Structure 1
Amino acid sequence: MAAAPLTDGAGFTRSYEDALAAAWERWCLRQERLRSAAGHGAGRADEPGLRYVELLLKKGMREEACDRLRGLVGQEPENTAAGYLLAVLRGEDGFPEEAAGLLLRVLSQDPQHVKALNALGTALRQLRQVEQAEACYRNALGLDPSFQQARINLALLLKEGGRLTEAEEELDRGVACDAASVPLRYNLANVLQAQGRSLDAIEAYRAVLRLDPDHLDARQNMLFALHYAPRFGRRLIFAEHLKAARTRPFRPAPGSMATASRPRGGRVRIGYVSPDFRQHSVASFIEPVIREHDRALFEVFCYANLPRADRATERLQGLAEHWRDIHGIPDAQAAAMIAADGIDILVDLAGHTSGNRLPLFALRPAPLQVTWIGYPDTTGLKAIDVRITDAIADPPGEEERYHSERLVRLPRVFCCYLPLDAAPPVTPPPCLETGRVTFGSFNNLAKVTPEVIALWSRVLHAVPGSGMLVKAQPLGDAGVRRRILALFEAQGIMPGRIELDAGQPTSQEHLAQYRRVDIALDTFPYNGTTTTCEALWMGVPVITLAGDHHASRTGATLLTSCGLADMVTTSEAQYVEMARRVAADTGTLASFRSDARQRLQRSPLLDATGVTRELEVVLRDLYAEMRAERE
């Protein structure tokens, strides 16, 4: 039965709002007619019209607001305030060319409109007109040095272009003028992290958190950065994760929990939540699992938190039975969507990495919630029940005390890897042609700490005449290059023995660079994961140093699963000696390459079907156990 008008609260409120909006529009039109009749130009009749636009935007009527603004822009004299607002909205809607045209018209009327200059820079940046965008931001700052949004946008532009030192300098100038600015300090911390300066970045993130303890991105970036430096122990890192879990983003409001149950029976509904269903390292590990899931037992949902799709996205979308785009959707709404789908097991694939949706897990949209693959540590959240790992990455009895989740171990290896289809062929080791051994690392530069460089330098001293290729995107910045070379030089390794490479634009070109490397040296205490798999697929042996937690034991579990446990070392002395021994045997290096891909194809690491079945057994047992406990 339909609700009576008097008791239909929602319907009455909408009718009331519509009536108010109609009355407001009539009043605005009347004021415009009165001002026009009084001899004022249409350009001066903007205030009531813009107020009405503001009302439309508050009601979510964006298209109507844009139409209204177009009418105001078309008046004579031109309404610059309306033109600026329309340009901002069109830029946000993904029409930067239209936005740029509107902003140029605004600036022709008011060349010192600093907000329009800043917005034009953003539109030009979207149009990939980088030099013109930079000029706009600098012009805005020239007019108003205190306009910090233009400074942040300029720094982001410089960071995107690999000009990290300039970005840092720009943000330093901003902080010097406004030390209490959270956005300036947060962006400065990100630039420091991008340079690979984890300790400096951690201090910068802490400065942000002193100003804003609930700044989720700063806290999660800091948690991730703590894993790079050897000085931070397990107890401290765990305490920081628990502290993060107590902050406001992870505390659901009363009555906001989204859990929905469904009757027992039918297939288990499993949902994967990730920002990395795209050309990303995580996709290389989740794609084979989604493809191999037993559809007679599992119904697969993917919840994608990414702004733009690519070819990898399209491929993954084709593998999932159900695809949900949750980018830009508030946590409560996304959690309600997941609950409405009747998900039995919800799997986080990001942890505290960029783009994660951990706060929606705090709303409990599924009865069993799991974290896996994307983060090398605990989430710290009580709402996450289980973390999937293996016995080498997280040895039983040692790691449980540093996890808020229950650790459940797959029997062989915690993940499976999908090599790139278009990977170039394996080539002979370059030392056979050059006459000298080249060590290499293609890891994230944040993992290349002073301690790592000190150990690599010991390796280079132990193998006379050898060289080192370090490849990472930040090395395109001259300041970053100088810092890395100085760290090697401080250890007695001259720049002539070190080659720094800023990377290549495509995955195929990236993998092809392994033809320049004889032996890969892993980083510590944060090992490589994707880079280790890629090196092995390209026929390059990897030497790793195993530590006491997952991030520092990933190399050990990957190499062991491939039958290469002898490449796993447990001390710096062993690491140097292993590198010296492998470098001395060029014949073994050549034979290693010839059998590299067959070795991996026989290993658990590439056994997608087997690892997926092992995962399914674990998940079904956990789900049955959870149901039994609740009944």
Structure 2
Amino acid sequence: ALAPTDGETHYNHGVSLQTLHLRDEALRAYQRALAFAPDLIAADFNIGVILQEQGRTDAAIAAFEQVLARDPRHVLAHKALGDTLLGARRIDDWLRVFARFEASCSHALSLAVQALEVYQYRGDFAGLDRYLDRLRQDDFKPESETDLADSLEQLLFLLLYFDIEQEAHFGLYRAYDAVAQRVHGKPMPLAVRKPGRLRIGYLSGDFRNQVMGKMMWSALQHHDRDRFEIFCYALNKESDEWTDRYRAFADHFENVADVPEREAARRIGADDLDLLVDLSTHTKGAKPGILACKPARVQITHVASAGVLGLSAIDFKLTDQYADVAQNQAFQLETLLPMAGCVYPYRHIAPAPEHPFHRERLKISAEATVIGTFVNPLKLSRRCLSLWREVLERAPGALLAISIQHRRFHPRPAALRRRQRHDRSARYGRARGDLVRQEARRAELIHHPGQSRCDRHSGEER
């Protein structure tokens, strides 16, 4: 080593290791950096990021708190601390640290991202409107280009839950497309096509026991294998019997969850794909930076969410005439490609032969119409609550059963769809929801196995 006692040298070594997802080695490098340069706050922050990625929640929280004790206006530490607490479902602590974030960094763009979730979960629609108005006025500032890209990825997903003008949403798509090229690089050059079957790749974090994984299996299994060579690229390290099913089905299956996005794109590009199908958009575990590099001749996004990625590198959005009306094209970068039928490959689910969800046990009369909906709190918008109120008013005697997996609510933090970014910059109108909630308390255990007890059901948590 040329500078064995220089803290910044060890820090930069840690950044390189962390970029390669060599987390244990990076931790040791940061610890050496702090031994020689105790004031190197960026090393403390990056240690917290690694601990959070390793699932060591308490240690990560302690690391982020240590950063904030030294720098109360450290935006990324505030953001990472809130994301970690929400991911651990420590709701009271999450709300408490958000208040501190709001007081310390009122113009941070990542604050606005968290605020949309906090105010929606609180049911504070006036506060939510204030943040939406400030977003329209461009009143928030990112810490860096990387923070801008991360924050826009989260906003493009979160804003699907709120009523915001299509023009404003389209402006965010264009801003994201521009910054994605600066952060991830321009689209990759492609070689002359090799002979052989048409090569189709699928990029997803849900090749597993998850609603999207099961839904897409219904479509993928019908590929004509004499005409198509199938590649699956997994964005999630989890593996179960559904993963094994995809692995056995595909001609090629590769996990790129821990591969940097540009490198993952290089690997996919080497497979010489004719078509790459995105099944994630900006949902949990997504890596849109791969798609920004355009490692395939044609790229298409499918059914992960109601939105799009907002990338000019995506050629088409597969949809239908109901999921996207023709007028939507004016507000999306991706070209709409409507199918003749339904874009969602729905599958039949047989009722569970045995389950504990019975009307008598839940004190539901035999005459009542039960409507089951599987939601998270973000979906309980004013428009959604008003719709359910109208449904219940038009169907006397009906009751709405809402899935609940937490004593207060079951968060699916948008921020944890993406990994935390480590710090390299140092060196380089209230709706009438009570009716819904009251009915849900009586039937709060109605969940997927009990769908046979519902006369109607809708929605999936994501």
The TM tier, using the shorter chain, reads 0.7 to 0.9
Partner of 1:257: 188
1:428-456 Cα offsets, whole Å, 9 max, x none, are 87798454333332223322212222232
Counterpart of 2:150, as a letter, is: D
Q: Matched residues in 1 for 2:242 and 2:122: separation? A: 28
Contact 1:387 1:407 in 2 (8 A): yes
Deviation at 1:373, TM superposition (A): 1.7
Q: For the structure 1 residues 51 and 389, does the alpha-carbon distance in structure 2 shift closer, same or farther, using more than 3 Å as the test?
A: closer
Please point out which of 263, 267, 271 is paired with 1:337. Answer: 267
Counterpart of 1:411, as a letter, is: A
Contact 1:442 1:471 in 2 (8 A): yes
Q: For the structure 1 residues 407 and 304, does the alpha-carbon distance in structure 2 shift closer, same or farther, using more than 3 Å as the test?
A: same
Deviation at 1:275, TM superposition (A): 2.5
Q: Matched residues in 2 for 1:172 and 1:314: separation? A: 44
Deviation at 1:204, TM superposition (A): 7.7
Partner of 2:417: none
Deviation at 1:203, TM superposition (A): 5.8
Partner of 1:146: 72
Q: Matched residues in 2 for 1:179 and 1:309: separation? A: 41
1:410-442 Cα offsets, whole Å, 9 max, x none, are 332213134568955698877984543333322
Where structure 1 has 5 or more consecutive residues not aligned to the other structure, the ranges are: 1-20, 29-46, 73-79, 87-105, 107-112, 480-485, 504-508, 523-527, 533-631
Q: For the structure 1 residues 126 and 476, does the alpha-carbon distance in structure 2 shift closer, same or farther, using more than 3 Å as the test?
A: farther
Counterpart of 2:105, as a letter, is: D
Q: Matched residues in 2 for 1:232 and 1:515: separation? A: 36
Deviation at 1:367, TM superposition (A): 1.6
- The question of 1:471 aligning with 2:403 is answered yes
1:310-340 Cα offsets, whole Å, 9 max, x none, are 4433332222211222224333322222221
Fraction of identical pairs, as percent: 24
3-state DSSP class of the match of 2:161? coil
Q: Matched residues in 2 for 1:258 and 1:375: separation? A: 29
Contact 1:141 1:151 in 2 (8 A): no
Partner of 1:455: 387
Deviation at 1:68, TM superposition (A): 12
Where structure 2 has 5 or more consecutive residues not aligned to the other structure, the ranges are: 412-429
3-state DSSP class of the match of 1:155? helix
3-state DSSP class of the match of 1:226? helix
- Normalised by the size of structure 2, how large is the TM-score? 0.72
Please point out which of 488, 491, 499 is paired with 2:432. Answer: 488
Q: For the structure 1 residues 465 and 348, does the alpha-carbon distance in structure 2 shift closer, same or farther, using more than 3 Å as the test?
A: closer
3-state DSSP class of the match of 1:333? helix
3-state DSSP class of the match of 1:455? helix
* Mapping for residues 113-262 of structure 1, pairs under 5 Å: 136=62, 140=66, 146=72, 152=79, 154-181=81-108, 184=111, 186-192=113-119, 199=128, 202=132, 210-212=140-142, 214=145, 215-229=148-162, 231-245=163-177, 247-251=178-182, 257-262=188-193
Deviation at 1:269, TM superposition (A): 0.7
1:64-101 Cα offsets, whole Å, 9 max, x none, are 9989998x9xxxxxxx9649779xxxxxxxxxxxxxxx
Contact 2:370 2:401 in 1 (8 A): yes
Higher helix proportion = 1
* Mapping for residues 526-545 of structure 1, pairs under 5 Å: 528=459, 530=460
Q: For the structure 1 residues 157 and 432, does the alpha-carbon distance in structure 2 shift closer, same or farther, using more than 3 Å as the test?
A: closer
Q: Matched residues in 2 for 1:128 and 1:59: separation? A: 22
3-state DSSP class of the match of 2:153? helix
Which structure is larger by alpha-carbon Rg, 1 or 2? Answer: 1
Q: For the structure 1 residues 327 and 208, does the alpha-carbon distance in structure 2 shift closer, same or farther, using more than 3 Å as the test?
A: farther
Counterpart of 1:511, as a letter, is: H
Partner of 2:426: none
Q: Matched residues in 2 for 1:449 and 1:409: separation? A: 28
Partner of 2:335: 406
Counterpart of 1:173, as a letter, is: R
Q: Matched residues in 2 for 1:476 and 1:513: separation? A: 21
Please point out which of 442, 454, 459 is paired with 1:517. Answer: 454
Contact 2:73 2:104 in 1 (8 A): no
Contact 2:116 2:158 in 1 (8 A): no
- The question of 1:296 aligning with 2:226 is answered yes
3-state DSSP class of the match of 2:269? helix
Q: Matched residues in 2 for 1:122 and 1:253: separation? A: 21
Q: Matched residues in 2 for 1:154 and 1:374: separation? A: 27
Deviation at 1:296, TM superposition (A): 0.8
Q: Matched residues in 2 for 1:233 and 1:207: separation? A: 13
Counterpart of 2:370, as a letter, is: T
3-state DSSP class of the match of 1:211? coil
Aligned pairs, number: 430
Counterpart of 1:169, as a letter, is: R
* Mapping for residues 44-63 of structure 1, pairs under 5 Å: 47=5, 53-54=10-11, 57=14, 60=17
Q: For the structure 1 residues 118 and 180, does the alpha-carbon distance in structure 2 shift closer, same or farther, using more than 3 Å as the test?
A: same
**Once superposed, what is the RMSD of the aligned Cα atoms?**
4.9
Q: For the structure 1 residues 464 and 406, does the alpha-carbon distance in structure 2 shift closer, same or farther, using more than 3 Å as the test?
A: closer
Q: Matched residues in 2 for 1:64 and 1:487: separation? A: 48
Deviation at 1:171, TM superposition (A): 1.4
- The question of 1:281 aligning with 2:211 is answered yes
Q: For the structure 1 residues 276 and 59, does the alpha-carbon distance in structure 2 shift closer, same or farther, using more than 3 Å as the test?
A: closer
Deviation at 1:190, TM superposition (A): 4.7
Q: For the structure 1 residues 203 and 334, does the alpha-carbon distance in structure 2 shift closer, same or farther, using more than 3 Å as the test?
A: farther
* Mapping for residues 65-84 of structure 1, pairs under 5 Å: 82=32
Contact 1:252 1:363 in 2 (8 A): no
Deviation at 1:513, TM superposition (A): 3.7
Q: Matched residues in 1 for 2:26 and 2:437: separation? A: 62
Q: For the structure 1 residues 421 and 357, does the alpha-carbon distance in structure 2 shift closer, same or farther, using more than 3 Å as the test?
A: farther
Q: For the structure 1 residues 167 and 235, does the alpha-carbon distance in structure 2 shift closer, same or farther, using more than 3 Å as the test?
A: same
Contact 2:400 2:436 in 1 (8 A): no
Deviation at 1:391, TM superposition (A): 3.3
Q: Matched residues in 2 for 1:187 and 1:393: separation? A: 28
Please point out which of 281, 301, 313 is paired with 1:351. Answer: 281
Deviation at 1:341, TM superposition (A): 1.0
Q: For the structure 1 residues 208 and 352, does the alpha-carbon distance in structure 2 shift closer, same or farther, using more than 3 Å as the test?
A: farther
Q: Matched residues in 2 for 1:51 and 1:141: separation? A: 17
Contact 1:475 1:502 in 2 (8 A): no
Q: For the structure 1 residues 500 and 330, does the alpha-carbon distance in structure 2 shift closer, same or farther, using more than 3 Å as the test?
A: farther
Q: Matched residues in 2 for 1:307 and 1:196: separation? A: 35
Contact 1:164 1:195 in 2 (8 A): no
3-state DSSP class of the match of 2:211? coil
Deviation at 1:146, TM superposition (A): 2.7
* Mapping for residues 312-461 of structure 1, pairs under 5 Å: 312-395=242-325, 397-418=326-347, 423=352, 433-461=365-393
Partner of 1:3: none
- Normalised by the size of structure 1, how large is the TM-score? 0.55
Contact 2:320 2:342 in 1 (8 A): yes
1:232-271 Cα offsets, whole Å, 9 max, x none, are 35454344423432x22135888762322314x4200111
